[in-house]
Amino acid sequence: MRKEIDILLRAVKRNCAVVAKDSNLLWSLEELEAARDSGQYQSEDSLLSPDSHAEVSGVYPGCMHGGPVLSSLSYRAVGQTGHFIIFAPDPPQEMMDDQRERQRSENPQPSE
């Protein structure tokens, strides 16, 4: 098992968003590093699947517009620790369309 803070730092470094369950606030890399340096979230924890009944439903749960910095991205919950929910960005739609088109060209369907 790893320390909770290590799980959170790794998630943020992989472009995930980390939101505190108790405050619904998004934590930055700098805030997590400061928490590590002050000895917070040092207990062993594991990354669990997201809880469908969690009160935190998004990166900006209290904001109708999705927040100022990440508003162009769509996020989905991918995991949780004891104190935080981790959200990963969904790929942009045009990226998904390009990938589908590539798959179609590589695997053409037989004509009927």
What pLDDT, in 10s, does the model give residues 17-69?
999 999 999 999 999 999 999 999 999 999 888 876 655 556 655 443 444 44
Say if strands 2-3 and 17-20 run parallel, antiparallel, or are unpaired. unpaired
Task: Classify 28 in phi/psi space as left (phi over 0), alpha (psi -120 to 50) or beta.
Answer: beta
Residue ranges of the domains in the chain? 2-106
pTM greater than the 0.85 cutoff: no
